[in-house]
Structure 1
Amino acid sequence: MYNGLNWNFGHIVDRRFNPLLITFLLFGLTSLAFAADKHAPSKEIAWSKLQGLGDIEYFQLKNTKPNKTKHPYHIFVRLPDEYNQSEKVYYPTLYLLDGGTNFPLFAAYYSYLRAMEDVPALIIVGISYGNNDWRKGNDRSHDFTVTTIEREFWGGAQIFEQFLSDRLMPSIQEKYRVDSHKQVLFGQSLGGQFALYTSMYGDAPFFAVIASNPALHRNLDYFKQGMKKRDMRPKVYVSIAEFDDPTYKEPTLNWVEYWQKQNVEWEYNFDNLKGHNHLSASPVALRNGLKWIFNK
Structure 2
Amino acid sequence: MQQAIFKLIAFLLLVISCELSAESTEAPMEYLHGLGKVDYFLLEDVREDDSIQVYHIYVRNSPSAADGHKLPTIYLLDGGINFPLLSAYYQLLRLMNTVPEMLIVGISYGTSDWKKGNARAFDFTLPAKKQQHWGGAKKFEAFLAHSLIPRIEQHYPADPHKRILFGQSVGGQFGLYTSMYGESPFHAIIASNPALHENLPLLITPIQNPTDRPMAYISLAENDSARFRQPALKWSKHWFERSPDWKRKVVHLEQHDHLSANPEAFRQGLRWIFAQPSF
TM-score when normalising by structure 1 = 0.86
Distance 1:115 1:189, change over 3 A: same
Does the CA contact (< 8 Å) of 2:193 and 2:220 recur in 1?
A: yes
Q: Which residues in structure 2 correspond to 1:247-262 (within 5 Å)? A: 247-262=227-242
Match 2:28 to one of 46, 52, 63:
46
Match 1:200 to one of 171, 174, 180:
180
Distance (Å, rounded) in 2 between the aligned partners of 1:175 and 1:64 = 23
Residue in 1 aligned with 2:194? 214
Aligned-pair distance for 1:69? 5.9
Distance 1:214 1:32, change over 3 A: same
Distance (Å, rounded) in 1 between the aligned partners of 2:80 and 2:10 = 43
Match 2:14 to one of 11, 22, 33:
33
Distance (Å, rounded) in 2 between the aligned partners of 1:241 and 1:55 = 32
Match 1:62 to one of 44, 56, 63:
44
Residue in 2 aligned with 1:160? 140
Does the CA contact (< 8 Å) of 1:164 and 1:204 recur in 2?
A: no
Give me the CA root mean square deviation: 2.5
Distance 1:164 1:67, change over 3 A: farther
Match of 2:53, as an amino acid? H
Match of 1:37, as an amino acid? C
SS, match of residue 159 in structure 2: strand
Distance 1:68 1:239, change over 3 A: farther
Q: Deviations over 1:190-217 (max 9, x none)?
A: 0000000000011122110000000000
Residue in 2 aligned with 1:15? none
The answer to whether the aligner puts 1:278 opposite 2:258 as a matched pair is yes
The answer to whether the aligner puts 1:241 opposite 2:221 as a matched pair is yes
In structure 1, list runs of 5 or more residues that go unmatched: 11-21
Does the CA contact (< 8 Å) of 1:243 and 1:276 recur in 2?
A: yes
Distance (Å, rounded) in 2 between the aligned partners of 1:222 and 1:103 = 29
- Pick which of 230-239 and 206-215 moved more: 230-239
Distance (Å, rounded) in 1 between the aligned partners of 2:157 and 2:81 = 25
The answer to whether the aligner puts 1:289 opposite 2:276 as a matched pair is no
Distance 1:67 1:115, change over 3 A: farther
Residue in 1 aligned with 2:78? 98
Distance (Å, rounded) in 2 between the aligned partners of 1:50 and 1:65 = 36
Does the CA contact (< 8 Å) of 2:46 and 2:52 recur in 1?
A: no
Distance (Å, rounded) in 1 between the aligned partners of 2:227 and 2:13 = 60
The answer to whether the aligner puts 1:82 opposite 2:84 as a matched pair is no
Distance (Å, rounded) in 2 between the aligned partners of 1:163 and 1:35 = 48
Aligned-pair distance for 1:152? 0.8
- Pick which of 35-44 and 215-224 moved more: 35-44
TM-score when normalising by structure 2 = 0.91
Aligned-pair distance for 1:78? 0.4
Runs of 4+ residues deviating >3 angstroms: 28-32, 38-42, 64-69
Match 2:156 to one of 176, 180, 184:
176
Percent identity of equivalent pairs: 45
How many matched pairs? Answer: 275
Aligned-pair distance for 1:81? 3.0
